[in-house]
Chains A and B, each alone.
Chain A
Amino acid sequence: QQQVKQSPQSLIVQKGGISIINCAYENTAFDYFPWYQQFPGKGPALLIAIRPDVSEKKEGRFTISFNKSAKQFSLHIMDSQPGDSATYFCAVSGGSNYKLTFGKGTLLTVNP
């Protein structure tokens, strides 16, 4: 059973546009929701994370929106830049063993 479902699989936006990636989960025991950015040939890098006690967290151009009742969270990248072109992964954690489980990823391409 997939712990977290991520969409879309790929996304193309123009420079200056807004990129939105979504994730949905089922287990209400999850209490930590990070987003990771990965460039080709590199390990994933922690971008931003949220706990369920807040509905939104913003760090620079990156914002997480969290909807506890819908069991969904999303990453918004404002003013998208070509340097943001990468694969983005959502993840979930919590419950009995605090295992960090990743979504399948979204390949973002920002055109100049």
Chain B
Amino acid sequence: EAEVAQSPRYKITEKSQAVAFWCDPISGHATLYWYRQILGQGPELLVQFQDESVVDDSQLPKDRFSAERLKGVDSTLKIQPAELGDSAMYLCASSSIPGTEAFFGQGTRLTVV
């Protein structure tokens, strides 16, 4: 069964360090999403790609976060510098049609110390 792959599963980093997460969507899915989920809350969209183009990054803290999907396949989300408040689960999802039937990966649990 096709899955969204994310790595690493867990990451502990020190405040002010750089951290990066990787996502490989389901093959053929043109839409890729990065969500942040704080414990006990719903996922919050950080950035949405259609192929290699960003279609929504209105909630992405652009002073420290960046995301790219250079060839329209896999994607990287970067935080530099990390802050204590960035501790959360970072989820990647993909869909074949924007906004519908999004499938999520297992997520990366980030802890900033």
**Chain A residues in the interface with B (C-beta under 8 A):** 6, 32, 34, 36, 41-46, 49, 89, 93-94, 97-105
Contact = CB atoms under 8 A, between A and B. Distances in A.
B100 A93 contact: yes
7 contacts: A34-B101, A36-B104, A43-B104, A43-B106, A49-B101, A97-B99, A98-B97
Contact of B43 (A34, A45, A49, A102): A102
Contact of A43 (B41, B99, B100, B105): B105
B21 interface: no
Contact of B101 (A42, A44, A46, A104): A46
Nearest to A93: B99
A29 B93 CA distance: 23
Contact of B98 (A45, A98, A103, A105): A98
Contacts of B100: 32, 34, 49, 93, 98, 100
